[in-house]
Amino acid sequence: MAKVGALGLAWLCFALLATSSHADPKAIPIDAIEVVPPGTPVESPPSPPASPPPPPATVGSPVFAPIAPIVAPISGPVSSPPAVGKVMFWDEFYTNFGDKNTVFPGTPTGSTIQLGLDNTTGSGFRSKYPYLYGHLSMKLKLVGGNSAGTVTSYYLASVFTKWCELDFEFLGNVSGQPYILQTNVFSEGKGDREQRIYLWFDPSADYHSYGILWNEKLILFLVDDVVIRVYHNVAGLGSEYPPYLTYQPMYIYSSIWNGEKWATRGGADKTDWSQQPFLASYTEFDVENACKVKGENDNEINVCNEQLKTSSYNDAAHQTLTDVQIEDLRRTRDQYIIYDYCTDAKRFNVTPVECAINWP
């Protein structure tokens, strides 16, 4: 806890800067600044071919199945925007840049926010408070048609100098090609842990849920409650393992921005501005099963650590992977993954040590 207190002032200063910012932190090139802000995209790993590969002859090749899900549906059809009684956008979030490109369609007003991107600016929003542990999610409907060059994001990030971050980044596509979902994990300012998958559905046709379950043992990346990635707490196994995300509360950010330099086939497909504005919608903001940090002192962190002990997101069932989750991860690896930092010998002479633990 002494570590948190020492960083409290830095956290407050960064939080004030983040509150007043009107530029997307993810749009800043990584080589243009000395201290990389939360959300800046790292050098992109190679993108997959322009067309999805055919069904594999052997296990381990990527496959795009736009109709059949990798598991049976969790419960019923995909939800539409929420009814009265759900958390409204204004309750927990505010727009932090690109106000002219944000609208609030649907009824009641505030149940859904639509972010837009044109050739002048993107747009985005941020949570009013950071969170330390919890089960956080929202539903997204992505840009349809030719979205090449666009990046729609939903991520958690702290505001320490050596920040922590958990990313969902949806990389646009040329019409008729599948979207790519890139996930990444930053631990105390160190990222380079990208994984990319083809989604098994069209994410621009309807709303789908994307979420994070984060406790003291593991972090789950969830798509419609299906586990697509796990990041275990292995910090106690030795100094060669990366530090776990245990003491830095993280804000929720969402945005749409122009990533044509790298996002689609490594920058080969540029943004077609004749298609502007590019629109993505967010709804069903679920932040209630998480610990909100309203101050910058150690006591706030202690409250979240105490809440963790009795929380549903840290109960025995969520401290290890279930058999179903293990099968989800294996199916993701065998059928949907198209890039994994764990197997990139060009970037890493030695496989990162956490990889053997994070893949079942």
Annotated catalytic residue, options 34, 92, 165, 300: 165
Q: Which residues contact 137 (CB under 8 A, 6 or more apart)?
A: 209, 210, 211, 212, 222, 284, 286
Sequence-ordered list of residues with C-beta below 8 angstroms from that of 92, at least 6 positions apart, any chain: 127, 128, 129, 285, 287
**Helices 2-20, 298-310: inter-axial angle, 10-degree rounding:** 100
User: Which member of 34, 43, 92, 169 is catalytic?
Assistant: 169
Per-residue DSSP letter, 320: S
- Pairing verdict, β 218-223 and 208-214: antiparallel
Phi/psi for 110 (5° steps) reads 105, -10
User: Is 188 assigned a catalytic role?
Assistant: no
User: Nearest-5° angle of CA 111, CA 117, CA 130?
Assistant: 50
DSSP line for 238-252: -TTSPPPS-S--BEE
Token pair, residue 335, equals: 């059928």
The amino acid present at 236, given as its one-letter code, is G
Distance CA 86, CA 277 (A): 28
Euclidean distance between CA atoms 260 and 268, whole angstroms: 8
First to last CA, the chain: 32
288 is catalytic: no
Q: Which long-range contacts (CB under 8 A, 24 or more apart) does 301-310 make?
A: 301/1, 301/4, 301/132, 301/247, 301/249, 302/1, 304/132, 304/133, 304/249, 305/132, 307/133, 308/133, 308/215, 308/216
- CA dist., res. 23 & res. 353, Å (int): 36
Q: Which amino acid is at 88?
A: M
Q: Which residues are part of the catalytic machinery?
A: 165, 169
